[in-house]
Structures are given as C-alpha cells and as structure tokens.
C-alpha cells in the first residue's frame, strides 16, 4: 500500500509492504519528529485503526463465505 504523509511543508510517499513495516515506520517517525509528534501520532493511529478494521472485516467476510 502507498502511504502519503505530510510533515510540515514536505510530503513523504512510502511503499509499505505490510502492517509491521508501517507500525515500525510510525514508531520511528514519532520518536524522531517531536515538532510534529501529535499530527503523526494521530495519522498513525487512524491508519492502524483502519488496517485493523479492514483485517477484521476481511476475516468476517471470509468466515461467512465458508459457512
């Protein structure tokens, strides 16, 4: 998936292969960017919530499909 993050005036586009990579990336961003900490935390939490929701949703769909 491609993630676009805006930090201050710069845009950062990333190709992220999986959930763990994204999580680690967010952790690094939050750790090293104190100035934009709240924005990044909020962004990352939103993305993680979305990912978790999508994973749960896919599992639900998959379960219903097998019945």
Model confidence pLDDT, tens digit, residues 11-20: 555 565 666 7
Model confidence pLDDT, tens digit, residues 32-45: 766 666 666 666 66
pTM for the whole thing?
0.33
Span 37-65, average pLDDT: 65
Q: Which domain holds residue 31?
A: 2-66
Domain count, the chain: 1
Tell me the two tokens of residue 59.
């599992």
Radius of gyration of the chain (CA): 15
Q: What whole-number distance in Å separates Cα of residue 51 and Cα of residue 47? A: 6
How many CA atoms are closer than 13 Å to the CA of 38, on its beta-carbon side?
0
Per DSSP, the residues of 22-63 read HHHHHHHHHHH-STTHHHHHHHHHHHHHHHHHHHHHHHHHHH
């Amino acid at each position: 998936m491609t993630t676009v993050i805006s930090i201050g005036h710069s845009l950062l586009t990333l190709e992220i292969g999986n959930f763990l990579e994204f999580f680690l990336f967010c952790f690094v961003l939050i750790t090293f960017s104190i100035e934009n900490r709240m924005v990044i935390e909020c962004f990352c939490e939103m993305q993680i919530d979305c990912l978790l929701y999508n994973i749960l949703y896919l599992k639900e769909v998959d379960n219903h499909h097998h019945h």
